Structure 1
Amino acid sequence: MSQTDNPSIDGDEGAAPSGSAPAGGNKRGLRFLRDVVIIVLAALLVSFLVKTFVVRSFYIPSGSMESTLQIDDRVVVNELVPKVVGLHRGDVVVFEDPGGWLGATGKNDLIKRVIGLPGDHVSCCSTDGKVEVNGVALDEPYAQYLPEFGSRSRAAFDVTVPAGQVWVMGDNRGNSADSRVHGTVPEADIVGRAVVITWPISRWSWLGRYPDTFADVPKP
């Protein structure tokens, strides 16, 4: 075999000068860098959109939702509720102060549990001291009734929730200024549904809506 019998390369465009990279390699490298930049920018954009329009983090400043939520817990809120995904009884929701709930504290957001949807008849209390929705007494495992708050935990009310509004209550029934004090909350003021406790790590858990509690409640 002669010294010129070297295998050829398909599409050979001639030998590159000694010590220089092939032109095709340069193009591939530039395309790779371009793709990396596009992926990084797309990821940053998606992250920004998710944080801005889909989920947000809130911390809990008070004990009105104990023992479900503790002071200084952090929760992630799904902002697709209720604009895209509908509300359900039992949802824990963050909402903007409709006016007068927080006074002059400088804060603007509250967190409570949805007990009544538009059209629901919500009342307290049944003969055994339970909240009723559309005539059904609720077994509420999330609700906390502390003896030191006495009758405040089961203050009487009897309300039909107006259209476009919801009835909300804190899980700490004796220590929550909620719809029993301030009335219903416009759905338009709801920021979203709290779905998970993210901090502290020892309290990481999903926030359920307790569907069994409301399973027997008929439509209004």
Structure 2
Amino acid sequence: MARAWATAWPYVKGGITGGVFGVTFADWCASITSVGGASMYPTFDAQQANWALVSKRCLKHFDVSRGDVVLFRSPKNHREVVVKRLIALPGDWIQIPEKEEIRQIPQGHCWLEGDNAGVSLDSRHYGPVPLGLLQGRVTHLVWPPNRISRVERKMPEGRIMPKGSF
């Protein structure tokens, strides 16, 4: 028994070390996650399984920009992780077309919307989202192979007045 354990121990130790390194890397640097649903069409295809690279380095100082696609915990259901586009940052003013209203984004919050407005449950429904709920920035689509590409930054035209622009 001792001899079998002595033979297996280097493999067990390597597996544990690799597992700890992998979890740490996924928590602090980057991970691959499944993204789906019709709310982000055409950026992500709702008819196919989409896998995306999520950078987590941006979280240390909330280094995100308008137009980034971000992964975050839903403010309505903390067990759900959602992907939307970051539209406005703290202090920005945003025009909400459905309500014909202009709102300022409070400090510590951001405004997130899906690319497919007709089917997206986003900040237009639940308001500004705390920056603390952000889980990372989606940088690349890595699956399916025919759609491998960088996820582009896009902004809606004429709806945002960035802080300090007036």
Aligned equivalents of 2:95, 2:154: Cα separation in 1: 19
Q: Within the alignment, does 1:167 sit opposite 2:111 as a pair? A: yes
Q: Equivalences for 1:49-68 in 2 at 5 Å? A: 49-68=24-43
Structure 1 residues 96-111: aligned runs within 5 Å: 96-100=73-77, 107-111=79-83
CA 83–157 in structure 1, closer or farther in 2 if over 3 Å, else same:
farther
Matching residue within 164, 169, 178 for 2:122: 178
Please state how far the C-alpha of 1:47 moved relative to its aligned partner: 4.4
Match of 1:64, SS state, is: helix
Quote the offset at 1:157 in angstroms: 3.7
Alpha-carbon offset, residue 210 of structure 1:
3.8
Q: Does the Cα contact within 8 Å between 2:36 and 2:44 map onto a contact in 1?
A: no
Deviation string, structure 1 residues 2-31 (Cα, Å, up to 9, x no partner): xxxxxxxxxxxxxxxxxxxxxxxxxxxxxx
Paired residues of 1:89 and 1:115 also in contact (CA < 8 A)? yes
2:100 corresponding residue in structure 1:
156
Q: Secondary structure at the match of 1:99?
A: coil
Partners of 2:144 and 2:132 in 1: CA distance: 30
Offset, 1:56: 1.7
Counterpart in 1 of 2:5? none
Q: Are residues 1:118 and 2:62 paired?
A: no
Aligned-residue identity in percent: 29
Query: CA separation in 2, counterparts of 1:177 and 1:210?
Result: 19
| Larger relative strand fraction | 2
TM-score normalised by structure 1 residue count = 0.58
**C-alpha distance in structure 1 between counterparts of 2:62 and 2:152, whole Å:** 16
2:71 is the counterpart of 1:89: no
8 Å Cα contact 2:66-2:87 kept in structure 1: yes
Q: How does 1:1-220 map to 2 (within 5 A)?
A: 44=18, 46-71=21-46, 72-84=49-61, 86-100=63-77, 107-125=79-97, 154=98, 156-210=100-154, 218-220=162-164
Q: Hey, what's the Cα distance between the residues in 1 that align with 2:38 and 2:146? A: 18
Deviates more, 1:63-72 or 1:77-86: 77-86
Q: After TM superposition, give the deviation of residue 50 of structure 1 in Å.
A: 1.8
Larger radius of gyration: 1
Cα contact 2:93–2:162 (8 A) shared by 1: no
What is the rounded CA distance, in whole Å, between the counterparts of 1:54 and 1:94 in structure 2?
Answer: 14
Match of 1:113, as an amino acid? R
Q: How many aligned positions are there?
A: 146
Inter-CA distance 124–109: structure 2 relative to 1 (3 Å threshold):
same
Cα root mean square deviation, aligned: 2.8
TM-score, scaled to structure 2: 0.75
- SS of residue in 2 equivalent to 1:81: helix
